[in-house]
């Protein structure tokens, strides 16, 4: 159990290795460095708003905007994400981090998912903005139960 706890700590700190983790770790590290303690102390909503603006700057600088998501068909959506089929092997998932206090928390959840479930790891491929809402765009293997 201690070994897993240590590995999880390494992953969250950006030092551990997981499948598709490079870009996620880079963005998470940037967000950690760009946020002030003052904004977190002022409240979660203000913090997330400032964090989102910092994330947009990173996305612009690193050319991670996706102007249009090429999708084959809408599959479903829930409160957390919208899922689209790209082909018979992959899906695109759009997530606006609505259930997370911060984008960094969302990115950590991706890293942990990829650590525990490498066969269904999410590849963060960029971001889009729709109706002034920022969405992370991830690609994942399509697991059809048929």
Averaged confidence pLDDT in the chain:
82
> What are the tokens at 89?
């092997």
Asked if residue 146 belongs to a domain, the reply is no
Residue 65: per-residue pLDDT: 94
Asked if residue 119 belongs to a domain, the reply is yes
Do 61 and 114 touch, CB atoms closer than 8 A?
no
d(CA 29, CA 132): 24
Whether residue 28 is predicted with pLDDT greater than 70 in this model: the reply is: yes
What's the number of domains the chain is made of? 1
Asked if residue 125 belongs to a domain, the reply is yes
Residue range of the domain that includes 122: 2-141
Asked if residue 61 belongs to a domain, the reply is yes
Global pTM? 0.82
> What are the tokens at 75?
């599959």
Asked if residue 16 belongs to a domain, the reply is yes
Asked if residue 36 belongs to a domain, the reply is yes
More confident residue, 10 or 73: 73
């Amino acid at each position: 159990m201690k070994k897993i706890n240590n590995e999880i700590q390494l992953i969250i700190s950006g030092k551990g290795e997981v499948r598709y983790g490079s870009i996620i770790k880079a963005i998470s590290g940037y967000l950690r460095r760009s946020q002030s303690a003052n904004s977190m102390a002022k409240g979660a909503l203000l913090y997330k708003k400032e964090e989102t603006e910092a994330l947009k700057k990173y996305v612009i600088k690193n050319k991670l905007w996706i102007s249009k998501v090429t999708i084959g068909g809408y599959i479903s959506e829930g409160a957390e994400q919208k899922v689209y089929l790209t082909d018979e092997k992959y899906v695109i998932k759009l997530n606006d981090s609505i259930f997370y206090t911060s984008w960094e928390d969302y990115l950590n959840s991706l890293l942990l998912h990829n650590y525990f479930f490498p066969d269904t790891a999410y590849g963060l491929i960029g971001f889009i903005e729709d109706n002034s809402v920022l969405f992370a765009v991830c690609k994942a293997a399509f697991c059809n139960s048929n």
